[in-house]
């Protein structure tokens, strides 16, 4: 089926999101949330786990790789559990199996995918089909919608009072995203050129931004560019990884706006004192004055996704290696 045929309009997405939120709100016995996916979709779940961890008073939340979620077969996955899943294509076998496993255990399942006709959409009780590709609204992409759903859950269950602020912030994405791409265009191109022959690039972050650093390392660098990389947690940096820091070792370090910014800042201060190859991307320069201060921290990870993609695009261009090229993925059985 073509991308055009799969494209879901904004009104339908809003209806699906509202239906999922209502279903969760009416399941009063839910006490646990599992956020499960693979690869880049799993990375999207990590800031959501952080959001729960810093906001919820009663709900427990855990982000797990989908294969591990199913393999664990935890007895705590039951009718008191909400399982939120994500797979872009909706065909990731491990995530589809995770949805089936969760339903067999009595859990409530909500899936996010680009393809509303996919196996994952069929396996889950509720589906939110986000937009992707040409013509998409930045306010209706997967990470933004998952954040909105969870803000709604936290309002309904924890009286967090954040859903409106998150909704308002997400509504600004169609204006914020193009502006950020333009603001970083020159720097991204220069970095892409200077890094075009680097065999290894580290990424570093913490808190709600670590998932973005992780995704950049394993998806954009390892998978799409065949560049060796590792995502280093800024809080763990001084407990081993900082020993590999030298003046010619390249790093990308994120400075976010959430509670862990001092953790990131400490690592950045050391990095920039001992390496000449550090690219620091600071969310304070994202122009978020119109975003409510109480949600800027968790909201910023959505924009780090956009900015890092601009740097990946530039790197791919200067390496002559399109991001779509794969050696193994989708080309053989594995």
Total length of the chain: 334
Instruction: Classify residue 331: in a domain, yes or no.
Output: no
Asked whether residue 250 falls in the same domain as residue 118, the answer is no
Domain containing residue 86: CATH number: 3.40.50.10490
Structure tokens, 65 = 């790789």
Domain containing residue 256: CATH number: 3.40.50.12570
DSSP string of 74-92, one letter each residue: -TT-STTEEEEEE-SSS--
Spatial separation of the C-alpha atoms in residues 124 and 112, rounded to whole Å:
9
Asked whether residue 200 falls in the same domain as residue 154, the answer is no
Q: What is the pLDDT of residue 7?
A: 81
> Which phi and psi angles does 91 have, rounded to 5°?
-115, 0
Spatial separation of the C-alpha atoms in residues 65 and 201, rounded to whole Å:
24
Instruction: Classify residue 329: in a domain, yes or no.
Output: no
Global pTM reads 0.96
Instruction: Classify residue 332: in a domain, yes or no.
Output: no
Instruction: Classify residue 77: in a domain, yes or no.
Output: yes
The answer to whether 256 and 283 are in contact (CB under 8 A) is yes
Q: pLDDT per position in the chain (334 positions), as tens? A: 334 446 899 999 999 999 999 999 999 999 999 999 999 999 999 999 999 999 999 999 999 999 999 999 999 999 999 999 999 999 999 999 999 999 999 999 999 999 999 999 999 999 999 999 989 999 999 999 999 999 999 999 999 999 999 999 999 999 999 999 999 999 999 999 999 999 999 999 999 999 999 999 999 999 999 999 999 999 999 999 999 999 999 999 999 999 999 999 999 999 999 999 999 999 999 999 999 999 999 999 999 999 999 999 999 999 999 999 999 988 888 8
Structure tokens, 119 = 């196996």
Spatial separation of the C-alpha atoms in residues 67 and 20, rounded to whole Å:
24
Spatial separation of the C-alpha atoms in residues 32 and 41, rounded to whole Å:
20
Last residue of a domain, which of 139, 169, 199?
169
Q: What is the pLDDT of residue 330?
A: 84
**Residue-range definition of the domain harbouring residue 315:** 184-319
Asked whether residue 69 falls in the same domain as residue 217, the answer is no
Strand partners, 29: none
Q: What is the pLDDT of residue 149?
A: 98
Q: What is the pLDDT of residue 2?
A: 39
In which region does residue 207 sit, left (phi positive, over 0), alpha (psi from -120 to 50) or beta (all else)? left
Asked whether residue 162 falls in the same domain as residue 201, the answer is no
Q: What is the pLDDT of residue 6?
A: 67
Q: What is the pLDDT of residue 3?
A: 43
Last residue of a domain, which of 169, 192, 221?
169
Question: What b/e sequence results for 6-27 when a residue is b if at least 16 CB atoms lie within 10 Å of its CB, and e otherwise?
Answer: bbbeeeebeebbeebbeebeee
The answer to whether 183 and 243 are in contact (CB under 8 A) is no
Tokens 């970095």 belong to which residue? 191
Asked whether residue 147 falls in the same domain as residue 20, the answer is yes
Tokens 């680009």 belong to which residue? 114
* Count of domains observed in the chain: 2
């Amino acid at each position: 089926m073509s991308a055009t045929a799969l494209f879901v309009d904004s009104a339908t997405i809003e209806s699906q999101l509202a239906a999922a939120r209502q279903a969760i709100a009416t399941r009063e016995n839910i006490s646990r949330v599992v956020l499960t996916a693979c690869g880049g979709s799993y990375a999207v779940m990590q800031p959501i786990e952080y959001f729960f961890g810093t906001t919820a008073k009663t709900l427990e939340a855990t982000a797990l790789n989908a294969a591990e979620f199913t393999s664990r077969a935890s007895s705590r996955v039951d009718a008191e559990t909400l399982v939120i899943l994500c797979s872009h294509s909706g065909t990731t076998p491990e995530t589809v199996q995770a949805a089936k496993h969760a339903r067999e255990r009595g859990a409530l399942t909500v899936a996010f995918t680009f393809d509303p006709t996919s196996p994952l959409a069929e396996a889950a009780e509720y589906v939110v089909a986000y937009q992707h590709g040409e013509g998409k609204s930045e306010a209706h992409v997967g990470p933004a919608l998952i954040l909105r759903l969870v803000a709604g859950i936290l309002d309904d269950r924890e009286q967090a009072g954040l859903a409106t602020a998150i909704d308002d912030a997400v509504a600004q994405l169609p204006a914020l995203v193009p502006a950020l791409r333009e603001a970083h265009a020159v720097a991204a191109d220069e970095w892409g050129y200077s890094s075009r022959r680097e065999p290894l690039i580290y990424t570093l972050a913490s808190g709600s931004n670590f998932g973005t650093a992780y995704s950049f390392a394993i998806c954009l660098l390892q998978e799409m560019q065949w560049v060796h990389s590792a995502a280093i947690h800024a809080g763990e940096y001084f407990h081993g990884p900082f020993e590999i820091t030298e003046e010619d070792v390249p790093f990308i370090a994120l400075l976010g706006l959430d509670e862990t910014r001092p953790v990131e800042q400490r690592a950045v201060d050391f990095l920039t004192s001992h390496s000449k190859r550090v690219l620091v991307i600071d969310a304070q320069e994202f122009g978020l004055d119109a975003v409510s201060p109480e949600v800027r921290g968790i909201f910023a990870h959505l924009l780090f996704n956009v900015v890092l993609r601009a740097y990946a695009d530039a790197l791919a261009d200067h390496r002559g290696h399109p991001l779509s090229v794969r050696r193994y993925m989708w080309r053989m059985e594995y």
